[in-house]
Amino acid sequence: MKKICTLIVAPYAPVRVGLAALLRESEAICVQGELPGNLETLTRMLPGLTPDAILYEGDGLEALLGVIMQLPDPPALVVLGDSASRDLPRLQATSTLPGWGYLSRDSEASTLALALQSAAAGLVVQEPQASSAPSHAPTDDILTARELEVLALMAQGLPNKLIAFKLGVTLHTAKFHVAQILAKLGAASRTEAVTLGARRGLIAL
């Protein structure tokens, strides 16, 4: 299994050390290094590093995103915070990131590792409480409420027949919804539709 090379960015050294210790508990994560979150250091150091993902804790998310968006091959980003209503719209509006996550600051080591793996794979990860935060990303008009339900079931790997059973609709209707989702997202397959939906924040994995 390929380890996710992770860079820890946080303003305070004790926080960086603590996060590094948590991540080292996982066999799936490799800690590349630690950086303070100030703009000067990020601008100078980040372009020379090539992590798969960044684990960020702090209040300077805007500055970090500004530096990341200038990189030719931006890493995935997982943010630890408690201001979802402020931070989530920023993340959702950033199309440069290959994948991202938003977790609470008290997340356990296993949760951090899974979020970093998922974000590095191009997915979006949000804790339930974060998912309920107001969103300013233009996702509401992409899929209907029913299509979002179908997409969530597709993400669970359910075939059309089980989707129809779960929703209490005919198989023909389920197939129609799946076809509509693929067309609206510009996906060539169910797997691609789930991936695109996750990247756009339509579903949380």
Domain ranges of the chain: 4-131, 145-199
Q: What is the three-class DSSP state of 12?
A: coil
pLDDT at 23: 92
Give the CATH architecture of domain 145-199.
Orthogonal Bundle (1.10)
- In this structure, the dihedral spanned by the alpha carbons of residues 199, 114, 144 and 87, taken in order and rounded to 10 degrees, is -70
Tell me which residue of 53, 43, 50 sits closest to 79, measured CA to CA: 53
Candidate from 30-39, 100-109, 162-171 with smallest mean pLDDT: 100-109
The arithmetic mean of pLDDT across residues 7-21, rounded, is 90
145-199 shares the fold of 4-131: no
pLDDT at 163: 93
Q: How confident is the model at residue 79 (pLDDT cuts 50, 70, 90)?
A: very high
The arithmetic mean of pLDDT across residues 149-169, rounded, is 91
Cβ atoms of 75 and 52 closer than 8 Å: yes
Question: 65-91 burial string, b = 16+ CB within 10 Å, else e?
Answer: bebbeeeeebbbbbbbbeebeebbebb
- Domain 4-131 classification at class level: alpha beta
The answer on pLDDT for 96 being more than 90 is no
Q: How far apart are CA 88 and CA 133, in angstroms?
A: 7
Candidate from 36-40, 83-87, 154-158 with smallest mean pLDDT: 83-87
The answer on pLDDT for 205 being more than 70 is no
The answer on pLDDT for 184 being more than 70 is yes
Q: How far apart are CA 204 and CA 101, in angstroms?
A: 9
pLDDT at 142: 75
pLDDT at 82: 78
The arithmetic mean of pLDDT across residues 148-166, rounded, is 91
Candidate from 31-35, 141-145, 159-163, 171-175 with smallest mean pLDDT: 141-145
pTM of the model: 0.65
Q: How far apart are CA 34 and CA 13, in angstroms?
A: 9
